[in-house]
Amino acid sequence: MKTELNGLIAPSVTPFNDDYSVNLDRIETLATFFNDNGIDGAFLCGTSGESLALTAEERMSITSRWVEVAPKDFTVLVHVGHNSIVAAKALAAHAQKAGAWGIGAHSPTFIKPKDADGLVDYCAQIAASAPDLPFYYYHIPGLTGNTTNMIEFLEAASGKIPNLCGLKFTSPNMMEYQLCRLFDGGRYDVLFGIDSFLLCSLVLGGKGSIGGGYNYAGPLYNEIIDSFNRGDLDTAREKQLKAMKMYQVMGRSGSPGHTGMKAIMKMLGVDCGPARPPAQPITAEQYNKLEKDLTEIGFFDFAAKKFEPAATSIG
């Protein structure tokens, strides 16, 4: 099985109601918003989607709803990783039954596989539960604590995970990223996962990417890609700097992470509710400061266009 995902895949936030229950009705709005802003697909229930704060049943309901409302030719990639392999396998099987395009899973975060062979054995069981779907290993060592070298993983996976199509590579180790991209003649699709320096992956030949900023600044990142493809590196660098300043503002606002992401989505007309505890709620003061600081760097000039329900439709 060989696939290649190009362009921008948004690791979608998960919308909640004020009581922290999942707001399935808001998913159609998200799908429309992404599609209208040049996003090619969504990665569900990953880090940005607060996956480990969700029950398996909630994650299944989110997958089903996304598949129902996704625009034509929009990629629905589902994160099925879980600290319980039983739950992970059930999530994978459900994603296939629901009609998702593919699945991905990161390492357990509690009891971790001790080496590449152990990680492959863990992933093989999950991937086998959705044998008809592309499987991507989600490498995010900064959060899982699993630092397995991905070249060793790909070598160990040969012949053991028939539907392994690649990696979601969320690590700043660009040498490892490039070696994985070129491994076995470019056999695997390696999706870059740090949008604050997307341009670095493009220089190395990257094509597809999954990054949190695509939730609310897709047009900026598409301009980075377009500028690079035209050979206009000066413009690409200028626009990448805007993304870096955006993250700098979020970090200084006192409301980074899921709380800040959802605050920005609300500013753009897509209210996805609060982040689930233990994430701290944003105060009115923090929200106003974030909006003010984003305005000062021109964020709303390069951000996703604001959602206007009466003027938008899926298609």
The Cα 222–Cα 216 span in angstroms is 12
Q: What is the pLDDT of residues 57-94, one digit of tens each?
A: 999 999 999 999 999 999 999 999 999 999 999 999 99
| Residue 308 predicted with pLDDT over 90 | no
What's the topology of domain 7-232?
Answer: TIM Barrel (3.20.20)
Distance of CA 168 to the CA centre of its chain: 9
The rounded mean pLDDT for the chain is 95
Spot the catalytic one: 122, 137, 168, 216: 168
Structure tokens at 305: 């266009």
Instruction: Mark 259-276 as b/e (b = at least 16 C-beta within 10 Å).
Output: bbbbbbbbbbebbbbbbb
168 a catalytic residue = yes
pLDDT, residue 116, reads: 98
Percentage with pLDDT > 70 across the chain: 97
Task: Give the range among 23-37, 98-112, 113-127, 255-269 with minimum mean pLDDT.
Answer: 255-269
* Interatomic CA distance for residues 144 and 147, integer angstroms: 8
Residue found by looking up tokens 């040049």 in the block? 38
At 142, the pLDDT band (50, 70, 90 cuts) reads: very high
pLDDT at residue 314 greater than cutoff 50: no
Binned at pLDDT 50, 70 and 90, residue 312 comes out as: very low
pTM: 0.95
Tell me what the mean pLDDT of segment 300-304 comes to: 97
Q: Which of 138, 188, 216, 221 is catalytic?
A: 138
What is the tens place of the pLDDT at every residue in 178-232? 999 999 999 999 999 999 999 999 999 999 999 999 999 999 999 999 999 999 9
- Alpha-carbon span 77 to 87, nearest angstrom: 17
- Report the chain's C-alpha Rg in angstroms: 19
Give residue limits of the domains in the chain. 7-232
Q: Is there a catalytic annotation at residue 287?
A: no
Strands (E), the chain: 7-10, 41-44, 75-79, 102-106, 135-139, 164-169, 189-192, 208-210
> Which whole number is the average pLDDT over 278-306?
95
User: Quick one: pLDDT at residue 20?
Assistant: 97
Query: In this predicted structure, what is the pLDDT of residue 257?
Result: 85
Q: Per the structure block, which two tokens stand in for 14?
A: 């998960």
> Is the pLDDT confidence value at 2 over 70?
no
